[in-house]
Amino acid sequence: MTAAPVRLAPRDIAEAQRIVGAVGEAFSTKVVGQDNLRESLLIGLLAGGHILIESVPGLAKTTAARVIAESIHGGFQRIQCTPDLLPSDIIGTQVYEAATNSFVTQLGPVHTNIVLLDEINRSSAKTQSAMLEAMEERQTTIAGTVYPIPEPFLVIATQNPVDQEGTYPLSEAQTDRFMLKDVLSYPTSEEEVEVMFRMDAGLYDKDHRSRPVVGLDDIRRLQGIVRHVYMDRALMHYASELVGVTRNPDDFLPRELARLIEYGASPRATIAFIKSARALAVLSGRGHVIPDDIAKLAHRVLRHRLILGFEAASHNVTPEVIIDAVLQSVRVP
Distance of alpha carbon 132 from the chain centroid: 14
Computed over every residue of the chain, the mean pLDDT equals: 89
> At residue 209, does pLDDT exceed 90?
no
pLDDT for res 240: 97
Strand partners, 147: 140
Residue 271 lies in a domain: yes
Q: pLDDT band for position 131 (50/70/90)?
A: confident
pLDDT band at 206 (very low <50, low <70, confident <90, very high): low
Residue 199 lies inside a defined structural domain of this protein: no
Query: pTM of the full predicted structure?
Result: 0.91
**pLDDT attached to residue 5:** 54
Residue 264 lies in a domain: yes
The pLDDT-based confidence of 313 (bands split at 50, 70, 90) is: confident
CATH code of the domain in which 284 resides: 1.10.8.80
Q: Per-residue pLDDT for 8 more than 90?
A: no
* pLDDT at site 112: 94
Distance between CA atoms of residues 18 and 35, nearest Å: 18
Q: What pLDDT does residue 162 have?
A: 75
Q: Give the percent of the chain with pLDDT over 90.
A: 56
Whether 296 is covered by a domain: the verdict is yes
How many domains does the chain divide into? 1
Asked if residues 102 and 146 have their Cβ atoms less than 8 Å apart, the reply is no
Note whether residue 289 is domain-resident. Answer: yes
Q: Kindly report, residue by residue over 12-44, the tens digit of the pLDDT.
A: 888 889 999 999 999 988 888 888 999 999 999
Q: What is the pLDDT of residues 57-99, one digit of tens each?
A: 888 888 899 999 999 999 999 999 988 999 999 999 888 888 8
- What's the pLDDT at 6? 61
Ramachandran assignment for 330, one of left (phi > 0), alpha (psi -120 to 50 degrees), beta (any other): beta
Which candidate, 229, 241, 231, places its Cα nearest to that of 290? 231
Could you tell me if residue 61 is inside a domain? no
Mean pLDDT to the nearest integer, 272-296 = 95
Residue 257 lies inside a defined structural domain of this protein: yes
Residue type, 153: F
Q: Is 243 within a domain?
A: yes
**What's the whole-number mean pLDDT along residues 235-262?**
93
pLDDT value at residue 231: 95
**Domain coverage including residue 325:** 230-333
56-80: b or e for each residue (b if 16 or more CB lie within 10 Å)?
Answer: eeebbbbbbbbbbbbbbbbebbbbe
